[in-house]
Structure 1
Amino acid sequence: MLKDILIIDGYNVIFAWPELKKLSRESLEHARLTLRDQLMNFCKYKEYEGILVFDGKYTATPASVEELAKGFFEVYTDDGETADSYIEREVFLRKGKYTNVYVVTSDGDEQNQILGSGGLRIPARELYNDIRLAKAEERKQYTHNHHRDHMRIRRNELGDLLDPTVAEKLEAIRRGNK
Protein backbone atom coordinates (compact mmCIF):
# COMPACT_ATOMS: atom_id res chain seq x y z
CA MET A 1 0.00 0.00 0.00
CA LEU A 2 1.41 3.35 -1.03
CA LYS A 3 1.60 6.14 1.51
CA ASP A 4 1.49 9.89 1.23
CA ILE A 5 4.67 11.89 1.72
CA LEU A 6 4.96 15.43 3.04
CA ILE A 7 8.04 17.42 1.97
CA ILE A 8 8.37 20.62 4.00
CA ASP A 9 10.39 23.76 3.25
CA GLY A 10 11.43 24.32 6.86
CA TYR A 11 12.44 27.97 6.83
CA ASN A 12 9.48 28.94 4.67
CA VAL A 13 7.17 27.46 7.32
CA ILE A 14 9.10 28.96 10.25
CA PHE A 15 8.78 32.45 8.78
CA ALA A 16 5.09 31.92 7.87
CA TRP A 17 3.90 30.80 11.32
CA PRO A 18 3.71 33.76 13.73
CA GLU A 19 4.87 31.92 16.88
CA LEU A 20 7.77 30.22 15.08
CA LYS A 21 8.77 33.47 13.40
CA LYS A 22 8.83 35.17 16.80
CA LEU A 23 10.76 32.27 18.31
CA SER A 24 13.29 32.37 15.45
CA ARG A 25 14.25 35.92 16.42
CA GLU A 26 15.38 34.57 19.80
CA SER A 27 16.76 31.23 18.57
CA LEU A 28 16.53 29.88 15.06
CA GLU A 29 17.70 26.50 16.39
CA HIS A 30 14.80 26.37 18.86
CA ALA A 31 12.33 27.30 16.09
CA ARG A 32 13.71 24.45 13.93
CA LEU A 33 13.38 21.95 16.79
CA THR A 34 9.84 23.08 17.61
CA LEU A 35 8.78 22.73 13.97
CA ARG A 36 10.49 19.35 13.68
CA ASP A 37 8.71 17.98 16.77
CA GLN A 38 5.31 19.19 15.57
CA LEU A 39 5.83 17.71 12.11
CA MET A 40 7.08 14.37 13.44
CA ASN A 41 3.94 14.04 15.59
CA PHE A 42 1.68 15.13 12.74
CA CYS A 43 3.24 12.73 10.22
CA LYS A 44 3.04 9.85 12.66
CA TYR A 45 -0.61 10.57 13.47
CA LYS A 46 -1.56 10.93 9.78
CA GLU A 47 0.68 8.00 8.75
CA TYR A 48 2.63 10.18 6.32
CA GLU A 49 6.28 9.90 5.57
CA GLY A 50 8.02 13.24 5.93
CA ILE A 51 11.06 15.14 4.76
CA LEU A 52 11.84 18.41 6.53
CA VAL A 53 14.28 20.43 4.40
CA PHE A 54 16.40 23.35 5.58
CA ASP A 55 18.70 25.53 3.48
CA GLY A 56 22.25 24.82 4.62
CA LYS A 57 23.28 28.45 4.29
CA TYR A 58 21.41 29.42 7.48
CA THR A 59 23.18 27.00 9.78
CA ALA A 60 26.66 25.80 10.64
CA THR A 61 25.39 22.22 10.22
CA PRO A 62 27.07 20.43 7.30
CA ALA A 63 24.91 19.00 4.51
CA SER A 64 23.12 15.95 5.88
CA VAL A 65 20.15 13.63 5.62
CA GLU A 66 19.14 12.02 8.90
CA GLU A 67 16.24 9.68 9.63
CA LEU A 68 14.90 10.92 12.98
CA ALA A 69 12.04 8.43 13.20
CA LYS A 70 10.80 5.68 10.91
CA GLY A 71 9.88 7.44 7.69
CA PHE A 72 10.73 10.96 8.90
CA PHE A 73 13.88 12.65 7.61
CA GLU A 74 15.54 15.96 8.36
CA VAL A 75 17.70 17.40 5.57
CA TYR A 76 20.21 20.23 5.57
CA THR A 77 21.26 21.12 2.02
CA ASP A 78 24.76 22.05 0.93
CA ASP A 79 25.62 25.72 1.33
CA GLY A 80 25.18 26.25 -2.43
CA GLU A 81 21.89 24.34 -2.77
CA THR A 82 18.53 25.84 -1.88
CA ALA A 83 15.76 23.94 -0.17
CA ASP A 84 13.63 24.69 -3.25
CA SER A 85 15.99 22.87 -5.64
CA TYR A 86 16.30 19.92 -3.24
CA ILE A 87 12.51 19.71 -2.90
CA GLU A 88 11.96 19.90 -6.67
CA ARG A 89 14.37 16.99 -7.17
CA GLU A 90 12.68 14.94 -4.42
CA VAL A 91 9.22 15.48 -5.95
CA PHE A 92 10.51 14.22 -9.29
CA LEU A 93 12.22 11.19 -7.70
CA ARG A 94 9.29 10.23 -5.45
CA LYS A 95 6.41 10.76 -7.86
CA GLY A 96 4.77 7.37 -8.49
CA LYS A 97 6.31 5.82 -5.37
CA TYR A 98 3.69 7.46 -3.13
CA THR A 99 -0.05 7.96 -3.39
CA ASN A 100 0.45 11.73 -3.06
CA VAL A 101 3.57 13.87 -2.86
CA TYR A 102 2.66 16.99 -0.88
CA VAL A 103 5.00 19.97 -0.65
CA VAL A 104 4.54 22.52 2.09
CA THR A 105 5.65 25.99 1.03
CA SER A 106 4.10 29.41 0.65
CA ASP A 107 6.63 30.44 -2.02
CA GLY A 108 4.52 31.16 -5.14
CA ASP A 109 7.25 30.28 -7.66
CA GLU A 110 8.01 27.05 -5.81
CA GLN A 111 4.31 26.14 -5.72
CA ASN A 112 4.08 26.51 -9.51
CA GLN A 113 7.19 24.39 -9.98
CA ILE A 114 5.79 21.68 -7.66
CA LEU A 115 2.46 21.57 -9.50
CA GLY A 116 4.32 21.29 -12.81
CA SER A 117 6.34 18.34 -11.42
CA GLY A 118 3.23 16.43 -10.37
CA GLY A 119 3.35 17.30 -6.68
CA LEU A 120 0.55 18.80 -4.62
CA ARG A 121 1.07 22.00 -2.69
CA ILE A 122 0.04 22.85 0.83
CA PRO A 123 0.52 26.47 1.91
CA ALA A 124 2.25 26.90 5.28
CA ARG A 125 -0.90 28.38 6.89
CA GLU A 126 -2.96 25.40 5.76
CA LEU A 127 -0.47 23.00 7.35
CA TYR A 128 -0.67 25.04 10.55
CA ASN A 129 -4.46 24.56 10.58
CA ASP A 130 -4.15 20.86 9.69
CA ILE A 131 -1.79 20.29 12.62
CA ARG A 132 -4.14 22.09 15.02
CA LEU A 133 -7.09 19.98 13.81
CA ALA A 134 -5.05 16.76 14.06
CA LYS A 135 -4.05 17.61 17.64
CA ALA A 136 -7.70 18.19 18.55
CA GLU A 137 -8.72 14.88 16.89
CA GLU A 138 -5.92 13.05 18.67
CA ARG A 139 -6.91 14.54 22.04
CA LYS A 140 -10.56 13.64 21.46
CA GLN A 141 -9.64 10.10 20.38
CA TYR A 142 -7.35 9.66 23.38
CA THR A 143 -10.04 10.88 25.78
CA HIS A 144 -12.65 8.60 24.19
CA ASN A 145 -10.35 5.55 24.21
CA HIS A 146 -9.18 6.24 27.76
CA HIS A 147 -12.80 6.48 28.98
CA ARG A 148 -13.78 3.33 27.06
CA ASP A 149 -10.77 1.39 28.44
CA HIS A 150 -11.54 2.60 31.95
CA MET A 151 -15.16 1.44 31.61
CA ARG A 152 -14.03 -1.93 30.26
CA ILE A 153 -11.77 -2.42 33.27
CA ARG A 154 -14.53 -1.54 35.70
CA ARG A 155 -16.99 -3.92 34.01
CA ASN A 156 -14.55 -6.81 34.35
CA GLU A 157 -13.86 -6.47 38.07
CA LEU A 158 -14.57 -9.73 39.86
CA GLY A 159 -16.49 -8.05 42.67
CA ASP A 160 -18.98 -6.63 40.19
CA LEU A 161 -19.69 -10.12 38.81
CA LEU A 162 -20.22 -11.98 42.12
CA ASP A 163 -23.46 -12.53 43.92
CA PRO A 164 -23.42 -10.21 46.99
CA THR A 165 -23.69 -13.10 49.49
CA VAL A 166 -20.76 -14.92 47.84
CA ALA A 167 -18.77 -11.66 47.85
CA GLU A 168 -19.45 -11.27 51.61
CA LYS A 169 -18.33 -14.85 52.32
CA LEU A 170 -15.11 -14.38 50.30
CA GLU A 171 -14.40 -11.12 52.10
CA ALA A 172 -14.88 -12.89 55.46
CA ILE A 173 -12.43 -15.62 54.39
CA ARG A 174 -9.94 -12.98 53.24
CA ARG A 175 -10.11 -11.32 56.66
CA GLY A 176 -9.77 -14.65 58.44
CA ASN A 177 -13.36 -14.64 59.82
CA LYS A 178 -14.64 -17.91 58.46
Structure 2
Amino acid sequence: MSSRQIGTATLDVVVADITTLRVDAIVNAANASLLGGGGVDGAIHRAAGPDLLAECRTLKGCETGDAKITKGYKLPASHVIHAVGPVWHGGRSGEDEALASCYRGALMLCQAHGLVSIAFPAISTGVYGFPAARAAPIAVGSVIEVLKDAPVVTAVTFCCFSQPSADLHRLALARALPLV
Protein backbone atom coordinates (compact mmCIF):
# COMPACT_ATOMS: atom_id res chain seq x y z
CA MET A 1 0.00 0.00 0.00
CA SER A 2 1.34 3.43 -0.91
CA SER A 3 -0.76 5.52 1.50
CA ARG A 4 1.18 7.13 4.31
CA GLN A 5 0.06 9.22 7.25
CA ILE A 6 1.88 12.19 8.72
CA GLY A 7 0.03 13.96 11.49
CA THR A 8 -3.53 14.42 10.26
CA ALA A 9 -2.53 14.28 6.59
CA THR A 10 -2.74 11.27 4.29
CA LEU A 11 -0.32 11.08 1.36
CA ASP A 12 -1.19 8.90 -1.65
CA VAL A 13 0.25 8.08 -5.05
CA VAL A 14 -1.98 7.38 -8.06
CA VAL A 15 -1.65 7.00 -11.81
CA ALA A 16 -4.49 9.10 -13.21
CA ASP A 17 -5.50 12.08 -15.29
CA ILE A 18 -5.14 14.98 -12.84
CA THR A 19 -7.99 16.86 -14.55
CA THR A 20 -10.46 14.21 -13.33
CA LEU A 21 -9.60 14.34 -9.62
CA ARG A 22 -12.15 15.65 -7.13
CA VAL A 23 -9.90 17.58 -4.77
CA ASP A 24 -9.90 21.16 -3.56
CA ALA A 25 -6.87 22.02 -5.71
CA ILE A 26 -4.90 20.46 -8.51
CA VAL A 27 -1.44 21.74 -9.26
CA ASN A 28 -0.65 22.80 -12.80
CA ALA A 29 2.95 22.32 -13.94
CA ALA A 30 2.79 25.73 -15.60
CA ASN A 31 5.16 27.81 -17.66
CA ALA A 32 6.09 31.33 -16.54
CA SER A 33 3.42 32.99 -18.69
CA LEU A 34 0.60 30.94 -17.04
CA LEU A 35 -1.15 31.08 -20.41
CA GLY A 36 -1.20 27.36 -21.16
CA GLY A 37 1.18 25.07 -22.97
CA GLY A 38 1.69 21.38 -23.55
CA GLY A 39 1.51 18.34 -21.29
CA VAL A 40 -0.30 18.74 -17.97
CA ASP A 41 -0.56 22.50 -18.48
CA GLY A 42 -2.42 22.17 -21.79
CA ALA A 43 -4.66 19.40 -20.47
CA ILE A 44 -5.68 21.50 -17.45
CA HIS A 45 -6.41 24.57 -19.58
CA ARG A 46 -8.49 22.50 -22.04
CA ALA A 47 -10.49 20.81 -19.27
CA ALA A 48 -11.08 24.01 -17.29
CA GLY A 49 -12.28 26.00 -20.29
CA PRO A 50 -11.54 29.54 -21.49
CA ASP A 51 -12.34 31.24 -18.17
CA LEU A 52 -9.13 29.77 -16.71
CA LEU A 53 -7.03 31.43 -19.38
CA ALA A 54 -8.89 34.71 -18.85
CA GLU A 55 -8.12 34.63 -15.10
CA CYS A 56 -4.50 33.60 -15.74
CA ARG A 57 -4.04 36.67 -17.95
CA THR A 58 -4.82 38.85 -14.92
CA LEU A 59 -2.00 37.23 -12.90
CA LYS A 60 0.79 38.66 -15.10
CA GLY A 61 2.87 35.46 -15.08
CA CYS A 62 4.78 33.70 -12.33
CA GLU A 63 8.45 33.27 -11.43
CA THR A 64 10.17 29.87 -11.49
CA GLY A 65 9.77 28.19 -8.10
CA ASP A 66 6.67 30.19 -7.24
CA ALA A 67 2.94 29.40 -7.44
CA LYS A 68 -0.32 31.30 -7.98
CA ILE A 69 -3.93 30.22 -7.49
CA THR A 70 -7.04 30.48 -9.67
CA LYS A 71 -10.51 29.00 -9.70
CA GLY A 72 -10.98 25.57 -11.27
CA TYR A 73 -13.88 26.52 -13.55
CA LYS A 74 -15.07 23.37 -15.41
CA LEU A 75 -12.69 21.06 -13.51
CA PRO A 76 -13.90 18.82 -10.66
CA ALA A 77 -11.26 20.62 -8.53
CA SER A 78 -12.43 23.98 -7.21
CA HIS A 79 -8.99 25.55 -7.63
CA VAL A 80 -5.88 25.31 -9.77
CA ILE A 81 -2.50 26.16 -8.30
CA HIS A 82 -0.10 27.08 -11.08
CA ALA A 83 3.47 26.18 -10.08
CA VAL A 84 6.36 27.07 -12.37
CA GLY A 85 8.99 24.39 -12.08
CA PRO A 86 12.59 24.70 -13.20
CA VAL A 87 13.97 23.68 -16.57
CA TRP A 88 16.74 21.12 -16.00
CA HIS A 89 20.21 22.54 -16.70
CA GLY A 90 22.30 19.72 -15.23
CA GLY A 91 21.49 20.27 -11.56
CA ARG A 92 23.91 23.08 -10.80
CA SER A 93 21.58 26.02 -11.43
CA GLY A 94 19.36 25.83 -8.35
CA GLU A 95 16.91 23.38 -9.92
CA ASP A 96 16.44 21.28 -6.77
CA GLU A 97 15.57 24.31 -4.63
CA ALA A 98 13.26 25.77 -7.28
CA LEU A 99 11.41 22.45 -7.55
CA ALA A 100 11.06 22.16 -3.76
CA SER A 101 9.81 25.75 -3.67
CA CYS A 102 6.96 24.85 -6.08
CA TYR A 103 5.65 22.17 -3.72
CA ARG A 104 6.05 24.37 -0.63
CA GLY A 105 4.34 27.33 -2.29
CA ALA A 106 1.40 25.23 -3.44
CA LEU A 107 0.80 23.85 0.05
CA MET A 108 1.03 27.30 1.61
CA LEU A 109 -1.58 28.57 -0.88
CA CYS A 110 -3.84 25.70 0.25
CA GLN A 111 -3.30 26.72 3.86
CA ALA A 112 -4.03 30.38 3.10
CA HIS A 113 -7.23 29.53 1.21
CA GLY A 114 -8.53 26.81 3.55
CA LEU A 115 -8.13 24.01 0.99
CA VAL A 116 -7.82 20.56 2.57
CA SER A 117 -6.99 18.35 -0.42
CA ILE A 118 -4.42 18.80 -3.19
CA ALA A 119 -3.09 16.77 -6.10
CA PHE A 120 0.38 17.31 -7.56
CA PRO A 121 1.68 16.18 -10.94
CA ALA A 122 5.38 15.29 -11.26
CA ILE A 123 6.41 18.93 -11.76
CA SER A 124 9.21 19.60 -14.29
CA THR A 125 9.73 15.92 -15.21
CA GLY A 126 8.18 16.21 -18.67
CA VAL A 127 9.36 18.66 -21.30
CA TYR A 128 11.41 20.58 -18.69
CA GLY A 129 13.67 17.52 -18.41
CA PHE A 130 14.11 17.26 -14.63
CA PRO A 131 15.21 13.65 -13.94
CA ALA A 132 12.20 11.84 -12.48
CA ALA A 133 14.31 9.75 -10.07
CA ARG A 134 15.73 12.95 -8.61
CA ALA A 135 12.43 14.86 -8.63
CA ALA A 136 10.29 12.34 -6.71
CA PRO A 137 12.25 12.48 -3.41
CA ILE A 138 12.34 16.29 -3.64
CA ALA A 139 8.56 16.38 -4.17
CA VAL A 140 7.81 14.00 -1.31
CA GLY A 141 10.36 15.53 1.07
CA SER A 142 9.17 19.09 0.41
CA VAL A 143 5.54 18.15 1.03
CA ILE A 144 6.36 16.33 4.28
CA GLU A 145 8.51 19.24 5.45
CA VAL A 146 5.85 21.92 4.89
CA LEU A 147 2.79 19.99 6.13
CA LYS A 148 3.63 21.07 9.69
CA ASP A 149 3.09 24.67 8.52
CA ALA A 150 -0.09 23.79 6.59
CA PRO A 151 -2.27 21.94 9.13
CA VAL A 152 -5.46 22.59 7.14
CA VAL A 153 -4.17 20.23 4.41
CA THR A 154 -5.25 16.67 5.22
CA ALA A 155 -5.00 14.92 1.84
CA VAL A 156 -2.08 15.06 -0.60
CA THR A 157 -2.10 13.05 -3.81
CA PHE A 158 0.90 12.62 -6.07
CA CYS A 159 -0.88 12.13 -9.39
CA CYS A 160 1.55 10.52 -11.80
CA PHE A 161 1.23 10.26 -15.57
CA SER A 162 2.89 6.83 -15.74
CA GLN A 163 3.49 3.74 -13.65
CA PRO A 164 7.29 4.32 -13.55
CA SER A 165 6.70 7.83 -12.18
CA ALA A 166 4.26 6.45 -9.59
CA ASP A 167 6.79 3.79 -8.58
CA LEU A 168 9.41 6.50 -7.98
CA HIS A 169 6.97 8.50 -5.82
CA ARG A 170 5.92 5.40 -3.87
CA LEU A 171 9.56 4.55 -3.20
CA ALA A 172 10.28 8.11 -2.07
CA LEU A 173 7.24 8.04 0.19
CA ALA A 174 8.19 4.66 1.68
CA ARG A 175 11.73 5.88 2.37
CA ALA A 176 10.57 9.16 3.91
CA LEU A 177 7.76 7.63 5.99
CA PRO A 178 8.50 3.94 6.58
CA LEU A 179 5.71 1.81 7.99
CA VAL A 180 6.45 0.72 11.54
| TM-score normalised over the length of structure 1 | 0.31
Q: How does the TM-score come out when normalised to structure 2?
A: 0.31
More helix, by proportion: 1
